Amino acid sequence: MAATLPALEVERVFRECSGRAVATLARRFGDLGLAEEMVQEAFVQALDHWPREGLPASPPGWIITTALRAALDRVRREASRDERQRESVRLFGPDEPDAADEGPVLDDQLRLMFTCCHPALAPNVQVALTLRLVAGLETREIARAFLVPEATMAQRLVRAKNKIRDAKIPYRVPAPEELGERLRWVLAVVYFVFNEGYVASSGPELGRTDLTREAVRLARHLVELMPDEHEAVGLLALLLLIESRRAARTAADGALVPLGEQDRSRWDAALVAEGQALVRRCLVANRPGPYQIQAAINAVHSDAPRAAMTAWQQIVALYDQLYALTPTPIVALNRAVAVAELGSPAQALASVEALELDGYHLYHAVRADLLARLGRLVEADASYARAASLSANAGELGLIARRRAELASRLARAAN
Amino acid sequence: MNQYLLSVYGVEGEALPSPEVIQKMYADVDALNKVIQREGAWVFGGGLHPASSATVVRAKNDEILFTDGPFSEAKEQIGGFWVIKCKDLDAALKWASKATVACGRPVEVRPFQEPAA
């Protein structure tokens, strides 16, 4: 049967499984660069074969087998290559790989994740490596997502792979006593990717690769690989709950719509339900961490059918818990917003003004909101102006412009 | 086994800590050296005189030229180093973490091209 499979579909399926293939080859050959190249080679072959022959029964198995064959060919051809690769051919032999063996495959993927997010690599390098090797994005797509030239991103990736090889960054899952600390880096990379996508998707930069979707995919993958790591579950829940509001978050003119003013019927009910179920799973486990608490805060918001029905008392309590774990001024700022909602804007303003966040646009936006609630309209406007001067995001600027217009009409009414 | 250079960086001309602090650093580094040796990771190590005591040697055409002072004009200069052998970067970073605490300065970890003999 001549199945016609569009190239885009080949690309999608391929991306879904390329991380597994890179992970397996990297263990076999002890060389991430070679693994990546050979999986790319398998992709070229897939583009040729799949549209003609249809999807193979097991796409990941097909890719791993094809890439392994290509790698073994390459290693045989270049007999003078690295001792370890010849060693590996000798150890594993030219036999066909057992791609159906799931256990080691899962371990390989975790190894790959921890290697890409090794703390000896700069955070932006960790992000680029993870997107390339684990998520299977093309270098060109990653470059476009981070608004850097493709050559710059390619060079960054090559340097990183060379450092992993030369400095002997180990390809393994950290020992249990280190796992928590090292997992923090992995989760931070996924969260960073999500936030990059989140900001971009409310700005004018259409055509950027959908990083939020990639981050959700990575988080799902982490939870599959480590179902007992509650912070990984918490992160996935957090991302799903934020993602569920995507359609309601942007007005027709592109301006950001704040949580309290969103049309909640446009929230994605399936994502909300999935996120809330994960939050409940975390609550049962009762091993709270920062991502789980942030997910719980978002679950409380998701629970309220209308903004006025939000359980702010519960949210303030969760922020207290979060602040105890991570006492940052940003957490204090968000807590103050919740305190204001409980009916104490003056108290909230006092705690906001004690924070040292002068360079952060949301600090000024929150302060402006509170000043406006307290009727200090001129000061509020100045604070909005300061927030606008610190933000380059079209969605945020649109919201600030709307707020300032509201202030102007309140001021005009007061003058009459 | 792989080999790593652990270089200790200091800022030239920066005020020295008190004699007691220096004494404690010497004692801590000494103790660490013993542990590195006992664990079989030791290759070589030592402290260096200030960079102002350095001489740079260059071959130019048929001539050998000497220049007084260090090669790099940077303020940050190597004050001492270890060469260690261990399994991978994680192991090297563990030694470097102990080293920076002992000597009270930043430590740069750099892999050798050749594995340990």
Asked whether residue B93 is assigned to any structural domain, the reply reads yes
Taking the C-alpha atoms of residue A279 and residue A301, their distance in angstroms, rounded to an integer, is 13
Per-residue DSSP letter, A130: I
Contacts of A167 in chain B (CB under 8 A): 89, 92, 109-111
Which residue of B90, B93, B110 is the best one to mutate when testing the A interface, meaning the one whose CB has the most A CBs within 10 A? Answer: B90
Distance from CA of A21 to the nearest CA of B (A): 24
Which residue(s) pair with A256 in the sheet?
A: A250
Q: Yes or no: say if A197 and A213 are a contact pair by the CB < 8 Å rule.
A: yes
Cβ of A169: how many Cβ atoms within 10 Å? 23
E-state strands within A258-302? none
Q: What is the pLDDT of residues B47-63, one digit of tens each?
A: 999 998 999 999 999 99
Residue A100's pLDDT is 44
CATH number of the domain bearing residue B91: 3.30.70.1060
Q: Which residue of A has its CA nearest to B86?
A: A168
Could you say which residues from 31 to 60 on chain A have a Cβ atom under 8 Å away from some Cβ of chain B? Answer: none
What is the tally of structural domains in chain B? 1
Smallest Cβ–Cβ distance between B111 and the set A118, A166, A170 belongs to A166
Could you say which residues from 73 to 102 on chain A have a Cβ atom under 8 Å away from some Cβ of chain B? Answer: none
Residue A88's pLDDT is 56
Which residues, 6+ apart, have CB-to-CB distance to A108 below 8 Å? A20, A23, A24, A26, A27
Cβ of A166 and B87 within 8 Å? Answer: no
* Of A197, A186, A194, A192, nearest in space to A147 by CA: A197
Q: Which residue of B has its CA nearest to A118?
A: B90
Distance from CA of A94 to the nearest CA of B (A): 27
Residue A103's pLDDT is 52
User: Which residues, given as ranges, of chain A have pLDDT below 50?
Assistant: 1-2, 90-102, 205-207
Q: What is the pLDDT of residues B9-65, one digit of tens each?
A: 998 888 888 999 999 999 999 999 999 999 999 999 999 999 989 999 999 999 999
Taking the C-alpha atoms of residue A84 and residue A90, their distance in angstroms, rounded to an integer, is 10
* Contacts across the A-B interface (CB distance below 8 Å): 22
Strand order across the beta sheet in which B42-47 lies: B42-47, B76-86, B2-11, B107-111
Residue A9 has, within 13 A of its CA and on its CB side, a CA count of 11
Cβ of A170 and B88 within 8 Å? Answer: yes
Cβ of A120 and B87 within 8 Å? Answer: no
- Contact with chain A for residue B116, Cβ under 8 A: no
Which residues, 6+ apart, have CB-to-CB distance to A351 below 8 Å? A332, A335, A336, A339
Q: Which residue of B has its CA nearest to A163?
A: B111
Cβ of A169 and B87 within 8 Å? Answer: no
Asked whether residue B6 is assigned to any structural domain, the reply reads yes
- Contact with chain A for residue B115, Cβ under 8 A: no
Buried b (16+ CB within 10 A) or exposed e, A91-126: eeeeeebebeeeeebebbbbbbbbbbbbeebeeebb
Distance from CA of A156 to the nearest CA of B (A): 19
Could you say which residues from 111 to 140 on chain A have a Cβ atom under 8 Å away from some Cβ of chain B? Answer: 118, 120
Per-residue DSSP letter, A131: I
Asked whether residue B117 is assigned to any structural domain, the reply reads yes
Q: Is the pLDDT of residue B76 over 80?
A: yes
Residue B5's pLDDT is 98
Cβ of B88 and A166 within 8 Å? Answer: no
Could you say which residues from 66 to 95 on chain B have a Cβ atom under 8 Å away from some Cβ of chain A? Answer: 87-90, 92-93
User: Whole domain around residue B106: which residue ranges?
Assistant: 1-10+17-46+82-117
Residue B117's pLDDT is 76
Residue A96's pLDDT is 45
Which superfamily is assigned to A330-416 in CATH? Tetratricopeptide repeat domain (1.25.40.10)
Which residue of A114, A115, A168, A172 is the best one to mutate when testing the B interface, meaning the one whose CB has the most B CBs within 10 A? Answer: A168
**Parts of chain A belonging to CATH 1.10.1740:** 1-93
Contacts of A168 in chain B (CB under 8 A): 2, 87-89, 111
- Contact with chain A for residue B111, Cβ under 8 A: yes
Asked whether residue B36 is assigned to any structural domain, the reply reads yes
Q: Is the pLDDT of residue B3 over 80?
A: yes
Residue A27's pLDDT is 87
Name the pTM for this structure: 0.83
Query: In this structure, which CATH number among 1.25.40, 1.10.1790, 1.10.3470, 1.10.1740 belongs to the domain A1-93?
Result: 1.10.1740
Helix (H, G, I), strand (E, B) or coil at B56: strand
User: Which structure tokens are listed for B66?
Assistant: 């000497």
Contacts of A169 in chain B (CB under 8 A): 88-90
> Got the DSSP string for B62-100?
TEEEEEES-S---SEEEEEEEEEEESSHHHHHHHHHHHH
Q: Yes or no: say if A31 and A85 are a contact pair by the CB < 8 Å rule.
A: yes
Asked whether residue B71 is assigned to any structural domain, the reply reads no
User: Which structure tokens are listed for A404?
Assistant: 């300032």
Q: Yes or no: say if A209 and A137 are a contact pair by the CB < 8 Å rule.
A: yes
- Contact with chain A for residue B109, Cβ under 8 A: yes
- Contact with chain B for residue A168, Cβ under 8 A: yes
Q: Yes or no: say if A361 and A339 are a contact pair by the CB < 8 Å rule.
A: no
Cβ of A167 and B90 within 8 Å? Answer: no
Q: Which residue of B has its CA nearest to A164?
A: B89
Contacts of B109 in chain A (CB under 8 A): 167
Cβ of B111 and A169 within 8 Å? Answer: no
Q: Yes or no: say if A233 and A223 are a contact pair by the CB < 8 Å rule.
A: yes
Q: What is the pLDDT of residues A218-256, one digit of tens each?
A: 999 999 989 999 999 999 999 999 999 999 998 888 888
**Parts of chain A belonging to CATH 1.25.40.10:** 330-416
Taking the C-alpha atoms of residue A201 and residue A208, their distance in angstroms, rounded to an integer, is 8
Residue A39's pLDDT is 92
Cβ of B2 and A168 within 8 Å? Answer: yes
Contacts of B87 in chain A (CB under 8 A): 168, 170
* Of A383, A382, A385, nearest in space to A401 by CA: A385
* Segment B71-82 mean pLDDT: 94
Pairing of strands B107-111, B63-68: unpaired
